[in-house]
Chains A and B, each alone.
Chain A
């Protein structure tokens, strides 16, 4: 194995952009974008996996990244509406899946992090997530734990005292880049040419998705792959509808507080009203008031509940919300800042059922029920593959996961 890893490392270390990587993507996905400054190696992936699962990085010792991004729940905490951190504290947002997060142009529902490397540092210090006062406790652990010391030296060539938070972030991000999944019935149908891969219902639902449902405008499908997200932010009438009357009061107050230096990460997760300002809290752009990131739809059927606040319980509820033109209950006031593309759709009950069937056809095989047994899950797909045909990423990850 070592020899094969070495050859793979050589390939990966030399890679700058995905095109240069010797990757074999799951059906329906493009090459994973890997930043030049953080090349992927099997050792770094294994280290990242361990950091991801380490509960010691929380103030209570009971919460790890995997608590809310549970591999057995498609890397979410389904069926929770909003995530539960230390001491059963809950935040304001539904845990987004990490599956295929490698492809997103922004991280977090409001996109306040530009990439996985940056994102991974924040939940440790959020008071309703992992609750650390700063990153020092993490550094203390990784610098004193002998196995971490070996791993960090191996991966980054640094001694224990030279380990920084940046190293921790690089490793976690690298692990997360292995968590990609395609190969859904839809992928086999659309990209694989297997016309029997989806049910008749789902095939009809796909037409609704492209046509009357207008879904594809934001949940995009390209010619040779589909991420089901435009990587943009839209006000679709979720969350903001609850606070719309208070916006003239909340928005200026938040901007004022932000100018005075409040921690935006903490504010948006701990204050329900501020949270609903969405992307506006980050960019201060009026056209992003109440707007949240378009999530991928891959594996959506196994990550209920839905929307940034987990307020909609079923896929049918979601479609009804859109069908009503951006309100959950017909006749409610549509918020003034609604994004342009959201409008009543006039879908029939049959169309709604077909659309649900289509979304259920977006589940990758490794997340199809029944769920895998806890603890035995290895990140699914063979997205990182050595040039040797038998050294698949899944084996590599299984091996990585075995590292205590």
Chain B
């Protein structure tokens, strides 16, 4: 991983910022009049805890979550809170959600949760909600308005009428490229709630939205997709600084649509390939995105990770802690007006096996 990144983070206990080189500290200072308003939060996502039988769970997924929790606890000063970005479970069972919740309970400090389709489609989020609370909500923190959406809903016909059992419904939605799946959506009810929630928020208040699926359309075949993304975006566009952070894709993506910056987060379980690798259909991976390195399958944790998010200037900067790989920072660049990788920016600085779009 990137040396400066960990050193900076660990060093803050020492009160020393001297070794910093990766993160845009000057922005931090410029961000708010009062520097105590700058803050970080950690983002762990897509752990896919999978039950085998009895007390047995898939070891590799367990280890990914366990180490991301332990590493998050090492960060100093501690992030203000930790988001879990959805797909804690693989097939939505109580055993999986309980086991995952137990591992997450070792996190220091406040935790908040986003619903993933692997958590949802067995019992439509019932047990998850018992453990983690509401499926969509908002909160304010140090001048930023945070919104959590359940973006993995779909049509009533698919959800309630098509499958003979809840287990089969779960399995059909759990496959990446299963044509029996159905496009995700936020849905009318939540969009109405969102419109209402945003009423009275001043237009210059920084807004951070967490969803599991991308609130933009990337590749329908793999459900890297939210069907009513444009309608959700329309509600957010009036605000000057909007950030959407999503999981689900298990890879680094970033984009800018109008005032909205999009960032994806890594999985702790496994990496997905980029959809353009699927040759039979066109994908819409944002042209801004410089893909991450292809995973080396010999190293179980390669191309997985978690992220520490700096919030300053009302924008989010994602610092990706990647295993067996170079860490990356994707930060909003005010000159370019969109998120950009701090190191990989154009042909001249690309690592050899990076592809530039």
Contact = CB atoms under 8 A, between A and B. Distances in A.
Interface of A: 217, 247-248, 251-252, 255-256, 259, 283-287, 325, 336-341, 343-344
Contacts, number: 70
Q: Is the interface of B mostly helix, strand, loop or mixed?
A: helix
B74 interface: yes
A256 B59 CA distance: 34
Contact of B74 (A248, A256, A285): A248
A337 B13 contact: no
Given A284-B6, A338-B63, 6 more contacts: A217-B298, A252-B10, A255-B10, A284-B3, A325-B59, A336-B66
Nearest to A325: B59
Contacts of A341: 299-300
A230 B76 CA distance: 33
B64 to A, nearest CB: 8
Interface string B60-93: 1001001101110110100000000000000000
Given A283-B3, A285-B3, A338-B63, A251 B10 contact: yes
Interface of B: 1, 3, 6-7, 10-11, 13-14, 16, 18-19, 59-60, 63, 66-67, 69-71, 73-74, 76, 298-301, 321, 323-324
Contacts of B298: 217
Contact of A343 (B59, B301, B323, B324): B59
Given A336-B66, A337-B67, A341-B300, A287 B1 contact: yes
B1 A286 contact: yes
A347 B298 CA distance: 22
A252 B78 CA distance: 13
Contacts of A338: 63, 67
Contacts of B73: 248
B158 to A, nearest CB: 36
Contacts of B3: 283-285
Given A217-B298, A247-B74, A343-B59, A252 B13 contact: yes
Contacts of B301: 287, 339-340
A252 B1 contact: no
A259 B14 contact: yes
Given A252-B14, A340-B301, A286 B324 contact: no
A259 B6 CA distance: 13
A255 B11 contact: yes
24 contacts: A217-B298, A247-B74, A248-B74, A252-B10, A252-B11, A255-B10, A255-B11, A256-B14, A259-B7, A259-B11, A259-B16, A284-B3, A284-B7, A286-B6, A286-B71, A286-B321, A325-B59, A336-B67, A336-B69, A337-B67, A337-B70, A339-B300, A340-B63, A340-B301
Nearest to B106: A336
Contacts of A336: 66-67, 69-70
A281 to B, nearest CB: 12
A247 B72 CA distance: 12
A254 to B, nearest CB: 9
A343 B3 CA distance: 28
B22 to A, nearest CB: 13
A176 B3 CA distance: 32
A106 B13 CA distance: 31
A248 B106 CA distance: 13
A285 B6 contact: yes
B293 to A, nearest CB: 14
Contacts of A337: 67, 70-71
Name the residue among A217, A286, A344 with the largest chain B CB count within 10 angstroms. A286
A394 B95 CA distance: 64
Contact of A259 (B19, B59, B63, B321): B19
Contacts of B74: 247-248, 251-252, 286
